[in-house]
Copies of this chain bind each other. A is one copy, B any other.
Amino acid sequence: MLLDLIRTGEATTRSQLAHATGLSRSTVATRVEHLLAEGLIAEVGEAPSSGGRPPAVLGLNQEAGVVLAVDMGATHARVAITDFGASPIGETALDLDIASGPENVLGTIDRVLISLLDSNERGPGEVKGIGIGVPGPVEYAAGRAVTPPIMPGWDGYPIRDRFVDRYHVPVLVDNDVNIMARGEHWVTAEPSDDFLFVKVGTGIGSGLILGGRLHRGAQGAAGDIGHIQVAAAEGIVCRCGNTGCLESVAGGRALAARLDVADTRAVVAMVKAGSRDAVQAVRESGRLIGQVLASTVNLLNPGTIVVGGDLAEAGDQLFAGIREVVYRRSTALATSRLQLIPSNLGDRAGVTGAAAMVIDHVLSPQRVDRTLSLATGGVR
A residues touching B (Cβ–Cβ < 8 Å)?
A: 22-24, 26-27, 30, 137, 147, 192-194, 206, 208, 210-211, 213, 215-225, 227-229, 231, 240, 242, 244, 291-292, 294-296, 298-303, 329, 331, 333-334, 336-338, 366, 370, 373, 378-380
Given contacts A22-B366, A227-B298, could you give 8 more A-B pairs where the C-beta distance is less than 8 Å? Answer: A193-B218, A210-B210, A218-B301, A220-B301, A221-B331, A221-B333, A225-B298, A228-B294
Complex contact B299–A219 (CB within 8 A):
no
Chain B residues positioned under 8 Å from A373 (CB to CB): 22-24, 27
CA of A379 to CA of B31 in the docked complex: distance in angstroms?
A: 11
Chain B residues positioned under 8 Å from A213 (CB to CB): 211
CA of A378 to CA of B378 in the docked complex: distance in angstroms?
A: 17
Complex contact B299–A225 (CB within 8 A):
yes
| Residues A299 and B222 in contact in the complex (CB < 8 Å), given A27-B380, A378-B26 | yes
CA of A288 to CA of B244 in the docked complex: distance in angstroms?
A: 16
Chain B residues positioned under 8 Å from A303 (CB to CB): 217-218
Nearest CB of chain B from residue A210's CB, rounded to whole Å:
5
Complex contact A218–B380 (CB within 8 A):
no
Nearest CB of chain B from residue A68's CB, rounded to whole Å:
26
Chain B residues positioned under 8 Å from A24 (CB to CB): 373, 378-379
Q: Which residue of B lies closest to A30 (CB)?
A: B379
Complex contact B380–A222 (CB within 8 A):
no
Nearest CB of chain B from residue A44's CB, rounded to whole Å:
27
| Residues A217 and B301 in contact in the complex (CB < 8 Å), given A147-B333, A295-B295, A331-B224 | yes
Complex contact B299–A227 (CB within 8 A):
no
CA of A300 to CA of B218 in the docked complex: distance in angstroms?
A: 8
Q: Which residue of B lies closest to A374 (CB)?
A: B24
Nearest CB of chain B from residue A223's CB, rounded to whole Å:
7
Chain B residues positioned under 8 Å from A292 (CB to CB): 295
CA of A329 to CA of B230 in the docked complex: distance in angstroms?
A: 10
Complex contact B300–A333 (CB within 8 A):
no
Q: Which residue of B lies closest to A338 (CB)?
A: B218
Complex contact A218–B22 (CB within 8 A):
no
Nearest CB of chain B from residue A55's CB, rounded to whole Å:
20
